[in-house]
Amino acid sequence: MPVKIPAVYWEDVIIPTHLITQHKKISVQEIKHFAATFDPQPYHLDHDAAKESLFGGLCASGWHVCAIMMRLLSDTMEQDSIQFLGNEEIPGLKWLLPVFEDDQVQADITFTQKAPAMNGADFGTVDADIKVKNQHDKVVMALTATLMIKTRLSHGA
Amino acid sequence: MAHNDNVIRTRWFEDIPIGEFHVFGSHIFSEQEMIEFGTLYAPQIYHTDPQQALDTRYRGLIASDWHVCATWMRLMVNYMEKYALGVEDGRRNGAGVGFAGLKLLQPVRPGHTLTFSHEIIAKPDKVIRGKWGIIRSRNEAINHRGEVVFRVLIDILAQRAPT
């Protein structure tokens, strides 16, 4: 049986903490499926049109890269037993480079600051700098996120 | 009206006025699509499991912030397709470069209808790769009760007129 890591609550989070997520390879099928549902523009769906576009090739929707980042972040938090409740806010995000088919991405996460729970709230927030990099170690997307982390208090209540 | 709408996408950066306001349309969020999105991308239980979600701070299933963003994108593309001369025209087909202040202000629950709006609020004085300008928009969604539930400022490229 794998050893269960004790739950990490907001009170337990140390500043700074640096986490590295798993890798995720993004297939052409995934790119097209997401695009067909949420972002049906030619450079996410059609190889020929994508070649002519400002990206120069078929690439994932920027919102798809956001969603993949969220999954990588969530899995890393789960693995480390950090009681992550989602994003309170994304203060800023930049899409810096296209993510092409079969690119492999990974996120670097640094917790930079903590803010205590508001009166009556069951979570505190942790600010994070997140950089999503491709297999060439180039940053494709950079963001700051205000993450909600459950407090120990809420757990007892 | 329709005449003006038809040229939305074929305008140059210089021709896009600050203050212009669009309503992209509405979307009803279903439980099924929330669970599908959550299972793939945001596996917190209040995005994936309606039963377990009852015991969380949200007291039920809610949509992920990224799901609301992706839906905003779909409604924008639909709107631009409808009122544009064609996607081949690249001027307003410029990609997003980033956003600021993304926040869900109220939970979005199964069956909620969100109506998305888009207002041009600024044109930062920047030239990207020699031919693109930046159009900054305030994007909001209101729910069926008229409450603002979602807000984000998004920067999108628009091609500058040839000089």
Q: State how far residue B8 is from chain A, nearest Cα, in angstroms.
A: 16
Query: Which residue carries 């709107």 as its tokens?
Result: B79
CATH classification (class only), B2-29+64-159: alpha beta
> pLDDT per residue over A58-79, tens digit each?
999 999 999 999 999 999 999 9
> pLDDT per residue over B133-152, tens digit each?
999 999 999 999 999 999 99
Does CATH number 3.10.129.10 belong to domain A10-156?
A: yes
Question: Which of A40, A41, A67 faces B93 most closely, judged by CB atoms?
Answer: A41
* Amino acid occupying residue B72: W
User: Would you list the domain boundaries of chain A?
Assistant: 10-156
pLDDT, residue B7, reads 52
Query: Which residue carries 């004790």 as its tokens?
Result: A6
Question: Are B74 and A37 within 8 A, CB to CB?
Answer: yes
> pLDDT per residue over A18-69, tens digit each?
999 999 999 999 999 999 999 998 889 999 888 888 788 999 999 999 999 9
Question: Are B44 and A85 within 8 A, CB to CB?
Answer: yes
Q: Rounded CA gap, B84 and B22, in Å?
A: 14
User: Would you list the domain boundaries of chain B?
Assistant: 2-29+64-159
Give chain B positions within 8 Å (CB) of A131.
none
The list of chain B residues with pLDDT below 70 reads 1-10, 84-94
Q: Rounded CA gap, B79 and B96, in Å?
A: 16
Task: Check if A86 contacts B (Cβ < 8 Å).
Answer: yes
Question: Are A37 and B66 within 8 A, CB to CB?
Answer: no
Interface ipTM:
0.94
* Amino acid occupying residue B4: N
| Structure tokens that stand for B149 in this block | 């539930």
| Structure tokens that stand for A80 in this block | 């480390």
